[in-house]
Amino acid sequence: MQTSRRATIADVAAASGVGVGTVSRVINGAANVREATRASVLKVIEQLGYRPSHLAASLSRGTPRTVAIVVPQLTRPSAVMRLAGALTVLDEQGYETVVCNVDTPQQRDHHLTALASRHRADGVIVVSLRLSAAQVAAFRRAGVPLVTIDVVTPGVPQTLTDDVAGGRLATGHLLALGHRRIGFVGDTMRGAAAASRIGLGFITSQHRLTGYRQALAAAGVGYDRALVRRGPHGPANAEALAGGLLALPDPPSAVFAASDTQAMGVLAAADRYGVSVPGDLSVVGFDDIESASLLGLSTVRQPLVDSGAEGARRLCALLRGERVRPLRQRLPLEVVQRASTARPRPPAVGADAGDAAVAGSAAVAERAAVAGSAAGAGRAAAGGSTAGTGSAAGVAAARAAVRHAFAPFGSTLTRTARAAAAGRLCCVRQPGMNPFLPGRSVGF
């Protein structure tokens, strides 16, 4: 009757008719072994399915031990931060690290098969990639310690956060500020790009959307499909998706982006459409990558660096022969409010006819500016006043129109416009222009 017991070096030695030392020299490629003996031992190793312990070999030779980290799309900020946390711990513990980048399901399967069957590393950390039961079993048969980060893996030590709860936190933050018309920008579930992401196990965006819907329902706010926009991951795609939201007849007053990277795309769309943040639009992201604080982006902070470090610590414990409990380690999430979220602006009440007229001419000026005609904006802002452009009334009307028309483009642009208007010459910078470069001069 066959047993599932893993073959040992002693089993190989007994079946080959040689000593354990000879088997060890064959495994390590030593020169002082006869070719016939080497061939015989290698044949038995193959027949028994013996996998030599990389850890034991490294200890006997005094060489550094090795940990492999399998991580998808290494250039993504969240992946970089998790990797940084893991590398810090592994370096402190004296491990060398091999990083395997994955962009496709085929690459994932290749790396996992190689690491399990060839025993290239003492232990393996898998980040954000869902593993099949067969893949987990292969590591167990090979005796290779395995931990995962940011993904549920039954029977394996795992460090993760609750993305559904995170979606509720982000949406709840906007609801608490008073927003009710809240948009969502996340990853698509259709098309070739989506198929690849799903194949790699990327479903965090879907989970965060679930949390968004749960928070709306709990607050008694109806779910509006028109406010949910999904597409391929990335800031440029998110900018296009957010542009569609901002172009709605009744646009949202706030947007929850499923990642900080996508939130940056939403901010870019707001700049392009002349929508002030947070005055006219609040934006919250997810992750709290390093650039989020520089941009003043409100976000749901997940401990990216800590998750990498905790995963590495748990693997080191397994390599020391320690039992790791609990298998599922959940790290906390929290909302970090910065400059991109605020209470919605109350509707204007009691504006007199003069203010309404200025607002109307400002809207015409804004549309002209977005269309790329700064000169047209200046002329429209002047509003065809019956007072001559050289009159005091004409200058005052121009100044007021400039203040109102270009306020959505940001405080720097507003100050520039005011200063220029004082001399009856307006220096206008359109959305996306570098504020430190000269703008286009428009006289009126």
| Same CATH fold assignment for domains 9-50 and 62-161+307-334 | no
CATH class of 62-161+307-334: alpha beta
The mean pLDDT of 385-396, rounded to a whole number, is 41
Whole-number average pLDDT of the chain: 78
Q: Looking at the predicted structure, is the pLDDT value of residue 251 above 90?
A: yes
Query: Domain extents for the chain?
Result: 9-50, 62-161+307-334, 166-301, 353-443
pTM: 0.67
Condensed to tens digits (0 to 9), the pLDDT of residues 270-308 reads 999 999 999 999 999 999 999 999 999 999 999 999 999
Mean pLDDT across 399-404: 45
pLDDT for 26: 79
Strand partners for 336: 299
User: Does the bond joining 278 to the residue before it have cis omega, within 30 degrees of 0?
Assistant: yes
- What CATH code would you report for 9-50? 1.10.260.40
Relative to beta strand 123-127, strand 95-102 is unpaired
Domain 166-301, what fold? Rossmann fold (3.40.50)
